[in-house]
Structure 1
Amino acid sequence: MTSNSPKVLVFAGSAREGSLNKQLAQLAAKRIEALGGQATFIDLKDYPCPLFDQDIEAQGMPDNVLKLRAILAEHQAVFIASPEYNGFITPLLKNTLDWLSRPYEDTPGLGLFAGKWAALVAASPGGLGGIRAMPLAQQLLANLSLTVLPQPLSLPGAGSAFDEAGALKDDATGQKLDALCQRLVDSLAKTHG
């Protein structure tokens, strides 16, 4: 990794302590680093934002939205671990992306996302692994002008998928995560190298 390696912002669409998606996001950040990228993991719990409301926006952009905007502006990609709530993405993820897509000062709406890449994973203790929300998350990210990598990773049975060190117990799943992280790093190197 060099100082001009591509920078990837990594987070989960869950604020819950012990979130399996946070665990998967943290592992992805480590893998991105190992594969030649620069990863910044953030916990959205540290940046609580009000439910998006144009009346709130008219009074001034909330401080945590401004912090998230500044962080996002420094990265060329996002890597998101998206939980599934009733077959859809989480309200936290949608609300965060809604705030970040707003125009602010000299930056037009969607301006923070222009030219950026995105990769998606999902973890669930159930058998579907969050797969039902994946197409919705991909659609939302594409609507925000992000280039979304195909073949997201779904992790069913995530409650028992990690070892004590936070790595994936199943080698084949670990290889799929590495392949997704590598595709993201390579794509960034081609467009930002």
Structure 2
Amino acid sequence: MELLDVVDEHGVPTGEVVSRDVAHRTGVRHRTSHVWMLRKKNGRLEILAQKRSENKDSHPGCYDISSAGHIPAGEDFVSSALRELEEELGVTAKPEDLVYCGQRHFAYEKEFYGEMFRDNQVSNVYYLWCDKEPEEFVLQKEEVSEVRWFAFSELMDAVEKNRIPNCIHIDELEMVLAKEQKEII
């Protein structure tokens, strides 16, 4: 059973712990880490999206963040982000490799497999430079069915116009792009 810290609006643990199932059944606020992988290829900025496994409890078969995950009770944002990169994609990184883009707060309810799924997250968003081809990633098949590089503008357009199955929040892509552009100035 995966245990999560209940957190305040800033992502600070309150001291209470609940199971992931309870968090999603009741809408208890919890934390996640999101890491977007970037590379420059042929003069353009590209971003990696993972396609969620068809067996996921939410958004099966949808394109999503390069690597993301719930933060287990007692763990922090960065260590969780690094662990998820290794588990989902076989990518080893150091804390200083992650570029912090900001924090997102969101909540939604949707039915999956006949049951209500209530997600109430505080998420730290990062990006990581990584120049690997899709076949070089070691995918955790229970979580990820494939990865694909998109031109950054192509992914933003596809998400805005819902041209691909996805569970990507456009404001998160905007956060990453703004931070990346600020870093090169």
Common fold, TM-score beyond 0.5? no
Q: Hey, which of these two has a bigger chunk of helix by percent?
A: 1
Q: Hey, which of these two has a bigger chunk of strand by percent?
A: 2
Q: TM-score, normalised by structure 2?
A: 0.30
Q: TM-score, normalised by structure 1?
A: 0.29
